[in-house]
Amino acid sequence: MIEVENLSKFYGDRAAIKKLSFKVDQGQLVGFLGPNGAGKTTTMKILTGFMSPSEGQVKICGIDIFENPMEAKSNIGYLPEHPPLYHDMKVFDYLRFVARLRGVSKDNETSYINKALDSLDLKSVKGRVIGHLSKGFKQRVGVAQAIVSQPKVLIFDEPTVGLDPTQVAHFRELIKELKGNHTIILSTHILPEVQASCEKVIIINQGQIVAQDTLKNLSNKTSSGIRRVEVKVRRVKESYIKDFDTLEYIKMSTLAGNSIHFDLSGGEESLESLSSRIVESGMGLLSMNVASERLEDVFIDLTKSKTNELKNITNQGV
């Protein structure tokens, strides 16, 4: 649905993005993350045909955005970092203007606009002049204009900036409704938002992709490949725990009451081996939890220094 190949953008001789390649399948919701200045907005501007790249290719629904910009753009709803609102227009009139611009038929026009107004909780302000609205309401009108034509592809650049907590929760619900029927790329700095709604994540740092994987895989695996496991037993036998420490895949163990924390390398084999050894030890296994790495820790780990870009935890084919 969205295919990006070897995309680069130079400002003068400075590269804002360097050889980005990724794919987003139909109906997927992908979180696009990266620190300030990483190149997210630049990438989104290019994907939506608002800016040309220095090199590379972008296809939206199989259509090249630079060869057939009108056709490709008709499939895209875009919320830019700074929404393109006409401040002297009324909300309803503005949405009608956008719907007509995007080729929504006369028959569908009113129902599409009402649906967008409903989705963003904007019915009460539909007759107000945009310039007189508060910042959060303006942002909601920005989101409404992105979805009003019900395009196949939605690209949101920091959609929840300026929204109050109720509206953030509301947006999260909206995104869940939209996913499946729409292919969505969502850039945000609010990581719990990504954890709540995205199944896949692309992380960029200094213009390059440092990870693209499912949220589950990313959360279970830091670049060091260590998993944290918390084990609860009925009877702690310290001599057994000392024995465990000699196992190659156990990097560290810490005892706290009847809980033992293990840092494990390796995949599921290590987990299987550890669990059978605990059972054999007769300590009375009560529970075993594989702690998910918080996305925030993974993000910081991957973007903290340039050398991290070289670590190979990138999975192709997201």
- Of 1 and 161, the one with the shorter C-beta distance to ligand ATP is 161
> Are the CB atoms for 40 and 75 separated by under 8 Å?
no
Q: CB under 5 to 8 A by kind: which of ligand ATP, Mg ion, none does 11 bind?
A: ligand ATP
Q: CB under 5 to 8 A by kind: which of ligand ATP, Mg ion, none does 34 bind?
A: ligand ATP
Paired tokens of 17: 């993005």
Element (H, E) at 40: helix 40-47
Question: Should residue 13 be labelled a site residue for ligand ATP when binding is judged by CB under 6 A?
Answer: no
Q: At 8, phi and psi to the nearest 5?
A: -130, 150
Q: Which residue has the tokens 């979180």?
A: 31
Instruction: Give the length of the chain.
Output: 318
Q: From CA 283, how far away is CA 240, in angstroms rounded?
A: 9
- Of 34 and 77, the one with the shorter C-beta distance to ligand ATP is 34
Write out the binding residues for ligand ATP, residues 130-189 only, by CB under 6 A. none
Question: Should residue 11 be labelled a site residue for ligand ATP when binding is judged by CB under 6 A?
Answer: yes
Q: CB under 5 to 8 A by kind: which of Mg ion, ligand ATP, none does 36 bind?
A: ligand ATP
Q: Which residues contact 146 (CB under 8 A, 6 or more apart)?
A: 77, 78, 79, 154, 155, 156
Q: Helix or strand or coil: residue 159?
A: coil
Paired tokens of 311: 């670590």
Q: What's the closest the beta carbon of residue 20 comes to Mg ion, in angstroms?
A: 15
Q: What's the closest the beta carbon of residue 81 comes to Mg ion, in angstroms?
A: 5
Q: Helix or strand or coil: residue 60?
A: strand
Q: From CA 162, how far away is CA 256, in angstroms rounded?
A: 43
Q: What's the closest the beta carbon of residue 158 comes to ligand ATP, in angstroms?
A: 7
Question: Should residue 34 be labelled a site residue for ligand ATP when binding is judged by CB under 6 A?
Answer: yes
Q: What's the closest the beta carbon of residue 79 comes to ligand ATP, in angstroms?
A: 13
Q: From CA 77, how far away is CA 92, in angstroms rounded?
A: 17
Q: Which of 18, 22, 39, 41 touches Mg ion (CB under 5 A)? A: 41
Q: What's the closest the beta carbon of residue 187 comes to Mg ion, in angstroms?
A: 7
Is the sign of the CA dihedral 159, 161, 163, 169 positive or negative? positive
Q: What's the closest the beta carbon of residue 184 comes to ligand ATP, in angstroms?
A: 17
Q: Which of 2, 20, 29, 38 touches ligand ATP (CB under 6 A)? A: 38
Q: From CA 212, how far away is CA 99, in angstroms rounded?
A: 34
- Of 81 and 173, the one with the shorter C-beta distance to ligand ATP is 81
Total number of residues binding ligand ATP (CB under 6 A)?
10
- Of 9 and 96, the one with the shorter C-beta distance to Mg ion is 9
Q: CB under 5 to 8 A by kind: which of ligand ATP, Mg ion, none does 308 bind?
A: none
For 143, half-sphere exposure in the C-beta direction (CA atoms, 13 angstrom radius) is 31
Using CB under 6 A, list all residues that contact ligand ATP: 11, 16, 34, 36-42
Using CB under 5 A, list all residues that contact Mg ion: 40-41, 81
